[in-house]
Structure 1
């Protein structure tokens, strides 16, 4: 006779618990195929429960095929595949606590230092009040029209780009947009990437089975002669502030790249990721603003200027690609929630973003100057040189040392100092100069840097 302790059922109904017990015995092989089960009345009396409890359990097992019924004979175990006893559950993964560094030159931090929480909260409440249930409806695949109109005006006023809202596609961050780009332009194309350069774009293209080739970067970006004969058909570049070298591509080289793109069925993807932060002179105009043939696809995000967790980015497509985009990718749903799109639209159109950006430029310029001053006042002074601090949220620090970068990074980590070198972003050996640190300064506290800089200076050898 089957014996189960129905008092161990917890919050489950009696019939459900009994059904689970019998099913488990069938799957484990303890109840063999063809074996007859006790009658409903006999099992109910044995378990001390109501007949209806057994009837409901048997009925569910019959419905799922674990039992078969024979007229005037009773219920029998069906022929099903049995399983071995389940393995013990894996031990919980022990995640190491995040390390607290004495000095972290790699951490980015950007965006969250001065996030306008009160303004954002006020605009979010306003959107909830004014939009109401409409926020729950699906939004257009390219983004809500209010945000695309606000972005078009923002691009004209801040970056000198004249585009229509119809050319703008809103998406959840740069990585998502990279996926759209490779699907739009085609996986069969050869994609060129800067070396050293930002690695995520190449990884996304490669995961989409596109061939990637890495092109050298000098003090002015990718040399045009490197493009000729490379076989590249789409070049992904950051001409206004290349990461990680900080190089700015001059107008003559930009024009040469546009001629290269016009000469064939080629495109330039202009990743303008931190163009908002330029601390000397006027902002560098983007390549898209001088493109007369529709060969530049412009992209940017709000990860650096607002916060990475917002996951809001956008593409500007040439008019000639709009029909292809709608045909190939128009079935996608927009990946940015409606409430965040409407809130950002108000933040842009009512001048809050401009005010925020002006405050953050002042904040980051001051932070950069104080970090640089801390370095110059440390034992590193005389053994280092600061480079490319005119724009962006990082600068380079060229060290006087004979230690290999990897060895120096390992020794520094042992002393609580986290380093990031240009060579960490190279794809081919020798494509980045050695002994050059990338100093991401937004999250650094200049008042707490002295001891870490002393440790680093002691390791230079």
Structure 2
């Protein structure tokens, strides 16, 4: 970790925090600060530049809000954007006034958060106690490299009943997060493979692929999901999709396009489709969407699943289902990889699933998240002329399309000034993709139900000139149009 040699000019009108923010942003976008680089601590950088820690913290907070930097507890600040991806380009005129100081955000609408207060600690503790026993001394040794057979059996059982997927436990690989599994998969498929990735889409997969020499093409998404026709131009070998719940729009890949995608993959033995079954457990209207893998007759779909949303992110247990041709290659080429998940955690989870606690937990969480979503939709109803909602049928986040004349960055900045962290859709797009009207991603799972009214009211008021309570139901149509207008 090196210090940042930033020259701060105290003689000009631009605040010191803004000069530091602009310097770091430029270093990132021009590739001099690479993805994953650890930034200096607030204290060390403040001492090095002879400025206050508050100045550094304000600059870092702005970079975090825009998606250039992330803060990891007890580890520090890390660059989370790569130089070849054009992320958020804020309107510099909106940065002239220093943001209101908030050392900690009161509300965080990050889409990866879950409701930790509802985790079934008692049941989990029971299975942990049963697992950590002297009779299970064999768990202290290395187990099956692909994951514990007991857990893979339970996953196969769950996939058959919940997602319609018929697979043998031998085809399942367990790993500590989708990132680990994707890295193994990229190595398995080879360096000459050309990838097609949804745009906008899950940004982590882009960062993993950019660390390898593979070519990556963005594939546009519309109301039917990923567009198949551009394949003829980009000619990908492997396509990464979230067909049951596209991130971030929540779009469902139409049956017609599913068929086209599977037919495309079946033509060539080197073609595959990676199905990330993102948020498939949480659908609030109609029946659950069948997985693409359940339609796969040619064994061309690589299925990715995770317990990060259905249980807790810190569990770090994900899995992939490999088609038989890739499984044979995996056993030959990657047999030296031992499962990156603790055997003890795998056995706890397998017991949790076998005794029905996982299914009961999912059913309970669906009700909790449905209530939260319904509450948000009710709170936003008075503002439907200026704030429209996308993707409210499923998942743990929605997308807000805001038509009040403000820019995407202006919306984020206003919210941050009131202690609310929201996230721009442009951060999940390849290249410059600033939609009009601007769109904000709102993850609602991590906010307590009894705090949603205050969170939404504060958010709306941060975007409103006239501070009208969200709970008011007496606004006329014309009043609502005026209420969310930028100054």
TM-score w.r.t. the length of structure 1 is 0.76
Q: Secondary structure at the match of 1:152?
A: helix
Distance 1:125 1:418 in 2: 38
Gaps of 5+ in 2: 1-41, 46-52, 62-101, 466-483
Q: Secondary structure at the match of 2:132?
A: helix
Assess, with a 3 A threshold, how the Cα gap between structure 1 residues 322 and 129 changes in structure 2: closer, same or farther. Answer: same
Matched, 1:456 2:463: yes
Provide Cα deviations, 1:64-96, integer angstroms capped at 9, x if missing partner.
Answer: xxxxxxxxxxxxxxxxxxxxxxxxxx9756795
1:397 aligned to 2:403? no
Q: Which residues in structure 2 correspond to 1:73-222 (within 5 Å)?
A: 92=44, 96=57, 99-106=103-110, 108-129=112-133, 131-222=135-226
**Are the equivalent residues in 1 in contact too, given 2:111–2:441 (CA < 8 A)?**
no
**Partner residue, 2:281:** 276
Deviations along 1:142-161, one digit per CA (max 9) or x if unpaired, are 00111111111011111111
For the 8 Å contact 1:195–1:432, the answer to whether it is kept is no
1:73 corresponds to: none
CA contact (8 A) 2:110 2:422 kept: yes
Instruction: Choose the corresponding residue for 1:446, options 448, 452, 470.
Output: 452
> Residue 424 of structure 1: CA displacement?
2.4
Q: How many residues align?
A: 370
Unmatched tracts of structure 1, length 5 or more? 1-89
Q: 1:365 aligns with which of 370, 386, 391?
A: 370
C-alpha contact (below 8 Å) 2:112/2:309 kept by paired residues: no
Say which one has the larger Rg: 1
Aligned counterpart, 2:78: none
> Take 2:107 and 2:208, find their aligned partners in 1: how far apart are those partners?
31
Q: Deviations over 1:241-260 (max 9, x none)?
A: 01011110011100000111
The alignment status of 1:427 with 2:433, answered yes or no, reads no
Q: Is the 8 A contact 1:155 1:161 kept in 2?
A: yes
Q: Distance in 1 between matches of 2:349 and 2:420?
A: 38
TM-score (normalizing by structure 2): 0.72
Give the superposition deviation at 1:102. 4.7
**Could you tell me how far 1:228 is from its partner in structure 2?**
1.8
Q: 1:327 to 1:234 in 2, by over 3 A?
A: same
Deviates more, 1:104-113 or 1:328-337: 104-113
Cα distance, 1:432 vs. partner? 4.9
- Can you list the C-alpha shifts for 1:422-442, whole angstroms capped at 9, x where unaligned? 222111333755422211111
Shift of 1:370: 1.1
Structure 1 residues 145, 433: CA separation in 2 closer, same or farther (over 3 Å shift)? farther
Contact 1:294/1:319 (<8 A) preserved:
yes
Residue 409 (structure 1) aligned with residue 416 (structure 2): no
**Could you say if the C-alpha distance between residues 147 and 104 of structure 1 is closer, same or farther in structure 2, counting changes exceeding 3 Å?**
closer
Structure 1 residue ranges (4+ consecutive) displaced by more than 6 angstroms after TM superposition: none
Partner of 1:317: 322
Local SS of the residue matching 1:217: strand
- Of residues 406-415 and 149-158 in structure 1, the stretch that sits farther from structure 2 once superposed is 406-415
Instruction: Give the Cα separation in 2 of the matches to 1:370 and 1:363.
Output: 11
Q: Residue in 1 aligned with 2:293?
A: 288
State whether structure 2 residue 389 is matched by structure 1 residue 386.
yes
Match of 2:340 in 1: 335
Distance apart, 1:221 and its partner CA: 1.4
| Matching residue of 1:355 | 360
- The aligned residue for residue 45 of structure 1 is none
CA 102–133 in structure 1, closer or farther in 2 if over 3 Å, else same: closer
Contact 2:115 2:446 in 1 (8 A): no
User: Quick one: structure 1 residues 102 and 352, their matched pair in 2 at CA, closer, same or farther if it must change by over 3 Å?
Assistant: closer
Retained in 2: the 8 A contact 1:216–1:431? no
- 3-state DSSP of counterpart to 1:224: coil
- CA shift, 1:204, in A, is 0.7
Tell me the distance in 2 between the aligned counterparts of 1:228 and 1:197: 21
User: Cα distance, 1:99 vs. partner?
Assistant: 3.5
1:215-234 equivalence runs, <5 A: 215-234=219-238
The 3 A distance-change label for structure 1 pair 432 and 143 is farther
In the alignment, is the contact (CA less than 8 A) between 2:109 and 2:443 conserved in 1? Answer: yes
